[in-house]
Amino acid sequence: MEVKPITEAAFKQFEENYTGHMHYFHDELFYDYISNVNETHLLGLFDGDDLIGVSMLSATSVLKKFRLFTSHTGPLIQDFSNERLKFFLEEIDQYAKSHGALQMIHSPYTVYQMRDEDGNVAEDDPQNNRELISLYEDLGYKHHGFTTELITEELLRFQAVIDVDKPLDDILKQMDTTTRYNTRQTETMPLQLKLLDEDEYDKFIQIYKETEERIGFDPVPAEKIKNLLNTLKDRMFLVLTHVNVDDYLKQLEDERDIELDHIAEIEEKAANGTATKREKKRVNEHKEQLASKDKRIKKMEEFKAEFGTELDLSAGMYYYNNHEMVYLFSGSYPELSFFKGTNFATWEMIKKAQEIGVKRFNFFGLTGDFTENAQDYGVYRFKRGFTPYIEELPGTFDKVFNKPVYAIAKKLGKI
């Protein structure tokens, strides 16, 4: 094997066919953005003439002659193995040192160990790769630790994933009872999923920021979200869940009339002595349904009086590549939670993931604190309802190549 610089064309061709774990930070669209902001370097791992891996490095200048390097979430390696990773990392280090590296940072998008939906480690899962930590440490890297909190400068280490390369009924059966019920309920209402255009980015950001503040998450700058939307827009779905209350009232009233017709028909037969035992039993079921429709009609009239006819319920931001669809950010209005807008959007985007042809739906970041005291417990509880498996990533590593100069640069506030 050997490592050498590659062209943009070679890098993008590799990514076009790559089906392994790949974070959006390594997407060719992100490369197009970052290469206009920072100095970038593209390296390829070759086995003979075959390109089997790529690394996208970006660098910022420090004290004129030195550089701070990051590999974002790479490198990417086809038919991944620790042996290939070790060789690639060693060569990346040598390349970086020859270009004035002061520091290198890696946050590999590679599974460290698998967990079940409750956060319990799946000890015997063949995807576990606990050797990753020692592999980096043996190369002189410092591990930033097994973090279980939101650190703005680093990637979250845990992500909840479901496989979607199976029938929708099987995905529904996999959900817990509450999530399955809520998801099915959304299919009985005239909810709509609207794609937001670029001139509607601010609408999404407003909904997200209100949710962020309500939950108490560390704030993500609005400009950062908008920049991400602009950068990845060709592989992004920005969606708004919406309902017209009058449409739902009309639907409920029609359904109510159907129940009244059923009741009248059965009661007429009963009066004539022609009703069967089954029909007599079912009349009570229809009356229960009628009461349910009346209750919902009253609730919709209350919603209409308080909020109006056209209601925005929730908004979500989804990125996809060859490997997966990723649920990046979302927000919702809690006072309209009756409509289960987030369940509806999630279910529709799972269908969209199948339509695109990806095999995974990634609910993305969790802090890794699975207790009820966790800051993100509500978010985790929602994701847990889909009965995902949880991938724990190894975290962040950094290596300083020139400690005296690094100390000076840090003291001067350059790092």
3-state SS, 196-243, equals CCHHHHHHHHHHHHHHHHHHCCCCCCHHHHHHHHHHHHHHEEEEEEEE
112 phi and psi, to 5 degrees? Answer: -90, -50
Residues 96 and 189 in one domain: no
Q: pTM for the full model? A: 0.92
Residues 275 and 343 in one domain: no
Residues 180 and 281 in one domain: no
Q: What is the pLDDT of residues 133-174, one digit of tens each?
A: 999 999 999 999 998 877 666 788 999 999 999 999 999 999
Residue 391 CB contacts under 8 Å (≥ 6 apart), including other chains: 111, 114, 115, 127, 158, 159, 161
Name the nearest CA neighbour of 57 among 93, 12, 13, 17: 93
> How many Cβ atoms are within 10 Å of 412's Cβ, its own excluded?
10
Whether the CB-CB separation of 398 and 144 falls below 8 Å is answered with yes
CATH number for the domain including 235?
3.40.630.30
Residues 90 and 224 in one domain: no
Domain span at residue 284 reads 246-307
Please give the tally of structural domains in the chain. 3
Residues 302 and 313 in one domain: no
> How many Cβ atoms are within 10 Å of 274's Cβ, its own excluded?
9
Whether the CB-CB separation of 386 and 162 falls below 8 Å is answered with yes
Residues 211 and 87 in one domain: no
**Integer Cα distance of 59 and 69 in angstroms:** 4
Q: Which residues of the chain have pLDDT under 50?
A: none
Q: Please indicate, yes or no, if residue 122 is contained in any of the structural domains.
A: no
Q: Please indicate, yes or no, if residue 46 is contained in any of the structural domains.
A: yes
123 phi and psi, to 5 degrees? Answer: -55, -35
Q: Please indicate, yes or no, if residue 220 is contained in any of the structural domains.
A: yes
Residues 335 and 215 in one domain: yes
Name the nearest CA neighbour of 105 among 153, 36, 166, 168: 153
Query: pLDDT at position 56, please?
Result: 97
Beta bridge partners of 163: 360
Residues 219 and 299 in one domain: no
Residues 229 and 350 in one domain: yes
Beta bridge partners of 45: 3, 53
**Tokens standing for 176?**
């817990």
Residues 37 and 100 in one domain: yes
**Integer Cα distance of 89 and 50 in angstroms:** 18
